[in-house]
Chain A
Amino acid sequence: MSEKFLRDEKYKNNINTRVDHHFGDIEKGFKEADYTREETFIGNHVYQAPMEPHASIANIEGDGTILLYSSTQVPHYLHYQLARVFERPLGTIRVVRPHVGGGFGGKAEAAPTDYISICLAMKTGKPVMVQYSRKDMFEHFRGRHKQYITYKIGVKKDGRITAVKSTIYLDGGAYSSFGVISAYYAGSMLATLYKIPNYKYDGYRLYTNKPACGAMRGHGCPQPRFAFESLLTMIAEDLGIDPIKIREINAMDPNTRTVNDLDIRSCELKATLTAVRKKSEWNRKYGKLKPGHGIGIGCGGFVSGAGYPIYRSKFPHSNAIIRITEDGHAAIVEIAAAEIGQGSETVLAQMAAEGLGIPLERIRMKSWDSDISPIDLGAYSSRITLMGGNAVSRAGRDVVEKILPYAAKELEISAEDLVAENGVIRHKSDKKKFMAWSEAARMYFSENGPLVGTGSYSPPEGLGGTYKGAPVGTSPAYSFGASVCEVSVDLETGKVSIEKFTDYHDCGTPINPMAVHGQVEGAIVMGAGETIMEDTVFDDHGRIVNPNLHEYLVMTSKDVPEIFSGLVDSYEPEGPFGAKEVGEGATLPVLGAIAHAIANATGVWVKELPITPEKILKALDEKRKKDEKTSKPKCGCD
């Protein structure tokens, strides 16, 4: 590379992150293997494309406080960053997060709109709003890294994995953004799904003359997962093993420490595989469909909240205050957890209600104002249900602890024998002995003043190993899922119709099944788009050719398949009421399942995303040529 394109002397060859991980002994692992196969895959620059553009409004208040309204999914990180950049105490800044029209990772860091609106408000003394155009959004980017991925997998005859070697180059654009973490995630998360005894990962994140790439739904993992799932299926088919079977053989077990020191607690991957096999009628369809019709399998999963914050901090990751109104009727739940359309307000309210023992309709959420609500690290790494949920349910129980003595006195029952449930406090076994919850709360207030409970959550201490980069991929809990996809492919034009998805997810115990299915459906539509049509296209100078929603193709409602989303029984001890994540994990099985279904329909694997009609036709041509060559009778005379 010519010197003049070097971004920074600090980064030789423009390598911004180098990961060099080796767990177990891959040489030994490959020696033990009966069969190995190596393939290279290429990803795409997928953009989050949230409907709502990034927007910020800043005002300098009368007392000098900076007031910032921002469409952010990480109010606290934004807050912290503003304090650092403007060199003033965090307490002199107030961040308000209105309802946010989608983020998917694209709003997971302070944006130029935030800084510019504040600077201009300071200069002008007036409120200032800065909003991105659609084109600005694409140029700000922070979408997926385009990854160049080579996997080598070794297996025993029966399909058991003995070793995996991974080499990934991540095209990261001009700045770091979240890229260092993306480069680690691209390696670390591979080990959670299947038991891999020996694993080597070489990761390189490269600076290029494109917009910066960052975190996006499934952070760093969907492209490696697509590649790995594809190769695992290829190997299964090479060996004549059913592709679901090879996954069952290797599936992670509960309570396992992975080869890279991640602690898996609940894990029902096998159950999801059994369930999709049955529901999709896999046995009747796989290998038995007409040409042009295909069925495919893919698995995936994700962290339920990152084990460590993105900057060194000892603050608990989620913090809640619950304040009960004087009359004991309503509970005001204060937690700065970012609702960005994913429905966190709903599940947090449910869990607060459960913790308090009052009906859901008596809960009012206050999550948008840093002056009102204590910090939650944000809507990223699929963390709010588990972490925010633990915080609000603990705050709820804290309130209950405070009012039980009053009920005990009134009912003349010992506090240990009382439960708070559905607006009453009653004897554990004798339902006839009860009093109104609000009455007990009023008694507390009359004697002590405000009735307030607090709760917070931090992941268990010391998660993960001690090697460099070990914190990335750690989590209190992991989700798992399996998807079966059915497609039809027009073999003359290469056009793919994604017809059906059958998905089973292990999200622990679902707090709100409807919200879970909503996430799964969204993940399938989003994942399908990035598998078959989405790509940010650059010209020779690194300029985006399609910075608009007309030429950057996301799926429309007319492209959406029939979707069945199912859940398996699961309980996560570290989660609130047994719950873990679904938001990001549900994206991960999608890409591999579609790639397999297309291969199953056409007889050719396309290893470069997006799998466009044009690439399918090209692969079919190549296959035809190869078949012709091999079927020619050999006469040895030419």
Chain B
Amino acid sequence: MKIPGIKLHNAADLANACSLLEKYGESAKALAGGTDLVVDLKQKRAVFEHIVVLGGIAGLDEIKLRKGILQIGALTSLASLAESRIIKKHLPALSDAASTMATPQVRNMGTIGGNVAMAVPSADLPPTLIAANARIITDSPTGSRIIPIREFFTGPRKTVLGAAELIREIEIDVPPANSGLSYKKFQLRNSAALAVVGVAASLVVEDGKISDACIVLGAVAPTPLIAVKASRSLIGAKPDFEAFANAGKIACEEGKPISDIRGSKEFRCRLIGVLTRRALEEANGRIRTAPKRRKN
């Protein structure tokens, strides 16, 4: 099915893409993998006259590790994220999240930039990126900026991005060895299904006690939601079943799910508890070394 009445503009580089977006204003939209945008255009949920194609821009689909920082280009495909050796080694939760998404075909086309920019409440990558404290690096005609991902999402399908602002890359500090991160998703079938609930959880353990924790809930609020109280409940606790189950219980109360075709509010609340505990357990299992003693 062809989409009538659109003009495609192949952007030479990101600066060019931004200026095209600026030039055409509200009637323009950037297209990365197109797995969200094309569906919206076909279903007439979105109408744009000018489509700025990012796909031809070189160098934006790379995953690099530099000076302890993971740099993921905005055009990196979900399939690359799922398979990347660097990601699997340093942030396995992110490749886990990517591999639960959609179908092989969609994973080959869809990008990390598109998933984040689209800001769908059930999107699978944001919870993990938030728990990992990612930074979003953007370009726009007025310059570049670094946005902590915690400040990025403002509502369903809404972000702080300006109209002519595009994501260049996503940066994540490689988590220290005494930390672990996990993403757990509940879906109604094993492929091609959106999250009913997704939970990312990170843990830092020092001297046998949790020194930092971050639990992020997906698909249960207008934006990915940090379960602040549940996260806080873990600080100072021993990383064990009891603490994790307790955090799960608290997280249940923090979620604000709605009922829809994928599940009722009550069902989602329950899943939050179970998935939170399981994510924490897996995160704990991923802690590689015994915490180092600080030498003074």
Q: Is A550 an interface residue (CB 8 A)?
A: yes
Asked whether, in the complex, the Cβ of A558 is within 8 Å of the Cβ of B190, the reply is yes
Q: Which residues on A sit within 8 Å (CB–CB) of B271?
A: 493
Q: Which residues on A sit within 8 Å (CB–CB) of B148?
A: none
Contact with B along A543-580 (1 / 0, CB 8 A): 00110001101011111000000000000000000000
Tell me which of B194, B261, B267 contacts A546 (CB under 8 A): B261
Q: Is B144 an interface residue (CB 8 A)?
A: no
Separation of A493 and B198 alpha carbons in the complex (Å)? 13
Asked whether, in the complex, the Cβ of A556 is within 8 Å of the Cβ of B267, the reply is no
Q: Which residues on B sit within 8 Å (CB–CB) of A558?
A: 189-191
Kindly provide the distance from the CB of A370 to the nearest chain B CB, expressed in whole angstroms.
Answer: 31
Asked whether, in the complex, the Cβ of A556 is within 8 Å of the Cβ of B192, the reply is yes
Contact with A along B260-296 (1 / 0, CB 8 A): 0111100100110011000000000000000000000
Kindly provide the distance from the CB of B121 to the nearest chain A CB, expressed in whole angstroms.
Answer: 15
Q: Which residues on B sit within 8 Å (CB–CB) of A557?
A: 191
Asked whether, in the complex, the Cβ of A553 is within 8 Å of the Cβ of B274, the reply is no
Q: Which residues on B sit within 8 Å (CB–CB) of A537?
A: 261
Asked whether, in the complex, the Cβ of A545 is within 8 Å of the Cβ of B267, the reply is no
Contact with B along A588-622 (1 / 0, CB 8 A): 00000000000000000000000011100100000
Separation of A533 and B262 alpha carbons in the complex (Å)? 11
Q: Which residue of A lies closest to B193 (CB)?
A: A553
Q: Is A492 an interface residue (CB 8 A)?
A: yes
Q: Which residue of A lies closest to B102 (CB)?
A: A550
Asked whether, in the complex, the Cβ of A617 is within 8 Å of the Cβ of B267, the reply is yes
Asked whether, in the complex, the Cβ of B267 is within 8 Å of the Cβ of A553, the reply is no
Q: Is A156 an interface residue (CB 8 A)?
A: no
Contact with A along B185-215 (1 / 0, CB 8 A): 0101111111000000000000000000000
Q: Which of B173-194 contact A (CB under 8 A)?
A: 186, 188-194
Q: Which residues on B sit within 8 Å (CB–CB) of A493?
A: 186, 270-271, 274-275
Separation of A553 and B189 alpha carbons in the complex (Å)? 8
Separation of A613 and B274 alpha carbons in the complex (Å)? 13
Q: Which residue of B lies closest to A555 (CB)?
A: B189
Q: Which residue of B lies closest to A537 (CB)?
A: B261
Separation of A555 and B261 alpha carbons in the complex (Å)? 17
- A559-B189 contact given A614-B267, A617-B267, CB 8 Å threshold: yes
Tell me which of B188, B264, B270 contacts A553 (CB under 8 A): B188
Asked whether, in the complex, the Cβ of A533 is within 8 Å of the Cβ of B188, the reply is yes
Separation of A555 and B193 alpha carbons in the complex (Å)? 11
- A495-B191 contact given A537-B261, A614-B263, A617-B267, CB 8 Å threshold: no
Contact with A along B201-241 (1 / 0, CB 8 A): 00000000000000000000000000000000000000000
Contact with B along A517-556 (1 / 0, CB 8 A): 0000000000000000100010000000110001101011
Tell me which of B103, B190, B191, B261 contacts A551 (CB under 8 A): B261
Q: Which residues on B sit within 8 Å (CB–CB) of A492?
A: 274
Q: Which of B186, B191, B267 has the most CB of A within 10 A?
A: B267
Tell me which of A495, A545, A551, A556 contacts B186 (CB under 8 A): A495
Q: Which residues on B sit within 8 Å (CB–CB) of A613?
A: 188, 267
Q: Which residue of B lies closest to A491 (CB)?
A: B274
Contact with A along B84-114 (1 / 0, CB 8 A): 0000000000000000000100000000000
Q: Which residues on A sit within 8 Å (CB–CB) of B186?
A: 493, 495
Kindly provide the distance from the CB of B105 to the nearest chain A CB, expressed in whole angstroms.
Answer: 12
Contact with A along B120-162 (1 / 0, CB 8 A): 0000000000000000000000000000000000000000000
Q: Which residue of A lies closest to B42 (CB)?
A: A133
Asked whether, in the complex, the Cβ of A614 is within 8 Å of the Cβ of B264, the reply is yes
Asked whether, in the complex, the Cβ of A545 is within 8 Å of the Cβ of B274, the reply is no
Contact with B along A477-500 (1 / 0, CB 8 A): 000000000000000110100000
Q: Which residue of B lies closest to A549 (CB)?
A: B192
Q: Which residues on A sit within 8 Å (CB–CB) of B263?
A: 614
Q: Which residues on A sit within 8 Å (CB–CB) of B189?
A: 533, 553, 555-556, 558-559
Q: Which residue of B lies closest to A551 (CB)?
A: B261
Separation of A617 and B189 alpha carbons in the complex (Å)? 17
Separation of A556 and B192 alpha carbons in the complex (Å)? 8
Separation of A235 and B281 alpha carbons in the complex (Å)? 42
Q: Which residue of A lies closest to B264 (CB)?
A: A614
Separation of A613 and B264 alpha carbons in the complex (Å)? 11
Separation of A475 and B85 alpha carbons in the complex (Å)? 60
Q: Which residues on A sit within 8 Å (CB–CB) of B275?
A: 493
Q: Which residues on A sit within 8 Å (CB–CB) of B194?
A: 550
Q: Which residues on B sit within 8 Å (CB–CB) of A545?
A: 261
Kindly provide the distance from the CB of B174 to the nearest chain A CB, expressed in whole angstroms.
Answer: 31
Tell me which of A495, A550, A617 contacts B192 (CB under 8 A): A550
Q: Which residues on A sit within 8 Å (CB–CB) of B261?
A: 537, 545-546, 551
**A to B CB contacts below 8 Å, 7 in the list:** A493-B186, A493-B270, A495-B186, A550-B194, A556-B190, A558-B190, A613-B188
Other CB < 8 Å A-B pairs besides A533-B188, A551-B261, A614-B267, 8 of them? A550-B194, A553-B188, A553-B193, A558-B190, A559-B189, A559-B190, A613-B267, A617-B267
A residues lining the B interface (CB < 8 Å): 492-493, 495, 533, 537, 545-546, 550-551, 553, 555-559, 612-614, 617
B residues lining the A interface (CB < 8 Å): 103, 186, 188-194, 261-264, 267, 270-271, 274-275
The 9 lowest CB-CB distance pairs between A and B, nearest first, are: A558-B190, A556-B191, A558-B191, A614-B267, A492-B274, A559-B190, A559-B189, A553-B189, A556-B192
